[in-house]
Chains A and B, each alone.
Chain A
Amino acid sequence: MIEARDISVRIGTRTLLRDVSMRVMPGRVTALLGPNGAGKSTLVSVLTGERKASAGTTTIDGCDMHTLTPLELARQRAVLLQNSSLDFAFTVDEVVGLGRLPFAATNDAFDDEDALDDVRRVAGISPLWQQLYQTLSGGERQRVQFARALAQIWRRNTDGLPRYLFLDEPTSALDLRHRRTVLETAAKLAADGIGVLVVLHDLNLAADFADDVVLLRDGKVQISGTVDDVLTEKHLSACFDIPIEVMSHTNGKRLILA
């Protein structure tokens, strides 16, 4: 479990996060939702161990995150950030292969080929495999970066430690079909015991695929809990400042209209 407790982040006089506590549980998909500027990406950077909070603690499986080296962290969690740029002419397979970097010169490196084969299939990027990354469209690039993150946590669980996947707006450039593919993949990984945190703007995707939801607003957790508890008209309308309707679709799923 990755747990943030009473996290505050201040930059200069600006407070980005105030007393935020939340968890990323192995085996569950946690969706982080909130309006622009709520502090979602900042919270992700604290939970991944990238940023040290001004106050509060972040632990991974009970261990203070900042006592671990970047390499130790990288072997346990992968992160897909928003808009990565690449000015050098790597091919897609080379970019995805970089996801195996934390295992270079370890026994897990013997699994590299299996990992890349699986990930290529799962992410549906086989047709792109030998192309230059720079020639891809925005959506294709996002899927390649997603595959790279998958390659990083793809491993036979040799050390018995849980693994985590952080996805910061992984679907922002994707078409309708690929949005679902990415989240279906994330849900499958969670079913295999991986802890997934995903930042989303599409409430219906969150309703369909998340187990838990955290609503963030003005740097504070407005409410967190299971999908049923949090994705209600009352909480969503208050969080996003617009009237939001939550309906039951005939197929039994939740349908959120804004």
Chain B
Amino acid sequence: MTDVAKASLPPLRILRQPAILTGFAALLVFAFLMALAIGAMPIPLGDVIRILFGYNADTQASAIVLGLRLPRAVLAIIVGAGLGLSGAALQGLFRNPLADPGLIGISGGAALGAVCVIVLGHLLVAVVPFAAHPMLLPLAAFFGGLAATFATERIARSSGVASTAMLLLAGIAINALAGALMGVLIFMSDDRQLRDITFWTMGSLAKGGWTGVLLAGPFVALAIALILPTARSLNAILLGEREAMHLGVSVERLKRILMVSAALAVSASVAVTGIIAFVGIVVPHLVRMAAGPDHRIVLPGAALLGAALLLIADSLARIIVVPAELPIGLVTSLIGSPFFLWLLLRRKGLKS
């Protein structure tokens, strides 16, 4: 019995927990350097490192690494960390390992905001100063995500306290509403707009640049600062909300902090990159499989691993169909959805 139980422990649980985080951090550094090195024009790793420290005279390689690949890699780190961390926080909050930021309306609201600008943007162009035009879409997506989350939360709270089941149901309704409104806009759109919408929903890190870094960075940083200190409370929540309250957790306050943080991080990320699916759901799982469910490891681990995996996915997106590139959302979905199916089947096996 004891042997069986030990055998079913996650493989890496014998490792001390800081070792796992160190491992994820090392993977992140490696993925970062590789992301700068590979692409349509491969640049040797040694050159990449020299360029990063300012010792290379090859102006063309310099321009590619510093001008094109570096902002893109930094954006991948920010977005990957934000999606992974938010996913981990929401899975803990909902006590459901299959929860995901899309569940409470964040992605649906952001998508509606983006589609609004793509289809109706020409009406706004007359009103808004020219310099602000590139910002319209990310801003609309950002506020769309926040508004949808806020609406979900308010609807769920209408009966007094925001019960978790009500949050999920309200999230489904808000997502359906956003989907329906998007359908109306898509029906109105012309061919070029349709193409823009399609590509936006497949996600890309290509257009973000340093502007994208500046847009998403502060919100993801704020979310990290707000979410990481809740690790112990999230552990208690896994026992049940009443149990957590009896262990001294202010459950309603915790819910609010986590919903707001996740909404900020995911809305800001989606605003810059479009929809990148499955990072928020798969990454926390991988961390838990390696390190167990303790959020003191799962939260920072999901941020580090999310960043590393998104860097790797973006590198793949850039080299699979050179000289063109695949939308990164396609790469994460192609890898993520079979993994998700496997998770579901594995859970079923566990229960029967």
Contact = CB atoms under 8 A, between A and B. Distances in A.
Contacts of A101: 232-233, 235-236, 247-249
B288 A89 contact: yes
Given A95-B239, A101-B232, A104-B232, A131 B5 contact: yes
Query: Chain A interface secondary structure, helix, strand, loop or mixed?
Result: mixed
Of B97, B235, B245, B248, the most chain A CB neighbours within 10 A belong to: B248
A165 B250 CA distance: 20
Interface stretch (B6-14, B50-58, B212-220, B268-276): B6-14
B133 interface: no
A242 interface: no
A91 B242 contact: no
Nearest to A104: B232
Contact of A135 (B8, B10, B96, B245): B8
A98 B246 CA distance: 11
A131 B2 contact: yes
Interface string B231-256: 01101101110110111111100000
A88 B235 CA distance: 10
B115 to A, nearest CB: 35
Interface residues of B, number: 30
Interface in A41-99: 48, 50, 69-75, 77-79, 81, 84-91, 94-95, 98-99
Contacts, number: 90
B240 A84 contact: yes
Contact of B292 (A69, A72, A91, A131): A91
A86 B8 contact: no
> Number of contact residues on A: which range applies?
20 to 34
Given A71-B248, A75-B248, A101-B236, A87 B97 contact: yes
A78 B9 contact: no
B4 to A, nearest CB: 8
11 contacts: A70-B250, A71-B250, A74-B248, A94-B235, A94-B294, A101-B233, A101-B236, A130-B5, A131-B2, A135-B4, A135-B5
Given A91-B9, A98-B239, 4 more contacts: A74-B248, A86-B240, A130-B2, A132-B8
Interface of B: 2, 4-6, 8-10, 95-97, 232-233, 235-236, 238-240, 242-243, 245-251, 288, 292-294
